[in-house]
Amino acid sequence: MKSSTRKRSNSATARAKLLSDIGPDGQPLFHPFDVADFLTGEEDIAGFLSESLSDGRMDEILHSFFTACRARGISKMARASGLGRESLCKTLSPNAHPQFETMLKLVRAFGLMFEVKVAPKDVRRRAAAAMAAPKRRKTVRAVAQPRRKSA
């Protein structure tokens, strides 16, 4: 209970600070928004990661894991997961293809666990249709190579 109260006060303090900053011309100053500033507890991180995992886009999943790691501290998460800091950053970079074992190490370092649920009917129908569709074979075109002249 204490952590949720503290969490709210930190968020309220951060919002109040953002709203209280006024520039020399009397206009409010706008600060860049960073989700990592608001991921303060396990519940916040779990909800954030669950939402990105439910979408299923790999680039979004990697970005959300990187944001959650920034919220906790990259070096701290690297130590907790048994990875090097550079390795962790490379693993979560855009267009990376991390191994499931690496992602599982990260989830455990956050103090979380994966949960598998049955998807809604429309998602299951699309998955079944995709599995039933015949795979197209890529056609390979023969390229004529010039003949070598014999000596």
State pTM to two decimals: 0.66
Q: What single string gives the DSSP state of each residue in the chain?
A: -HHHHHHHHHHHHHHHHHHH-B-TTSPBP-----GGGG--SHHHHHHHHHHHHHH--HHHHHHHHHHHHHHH-HHHHHHHHT--HHHHHHHTSTT----HHHHHHHHHHTT------PPPHHHHHHHHHHHHSPPPPPP------PPPPP-
Amino acid making up residue 118: V
Structure tokens at 118: 């049955």
How far apart CA 50 and CA 44 sit, in angstroms, is: 10
pLDDT in tens, 112-127: 998 888 888 888 888 8
Inter-residue contact 113 to 47 (CB < 8 Å): no
Q: CA-CA distances (angstroms) from residue 18 to 7, 22, 61, 77, 93?
A: 17, 9, 28, 28, 30
pLDDT in tens, 48-70: 999 999 877 899 999 999 999 99
Which residues have C-beta within 8 Å of that of residue 35, sequence separation ≥ 6?
48, 67, 71
Q: Which residue has the higher pLDDT, 53 or 1?
A: 53
Fold of domain 40-114: 434 Repressor (Amino-terminal Domain) (1.10.260)
- What is the structure's pLDDT at 18? 59
pLDDT in tens, 2-25: 444 444 445 666 666 656 677 777
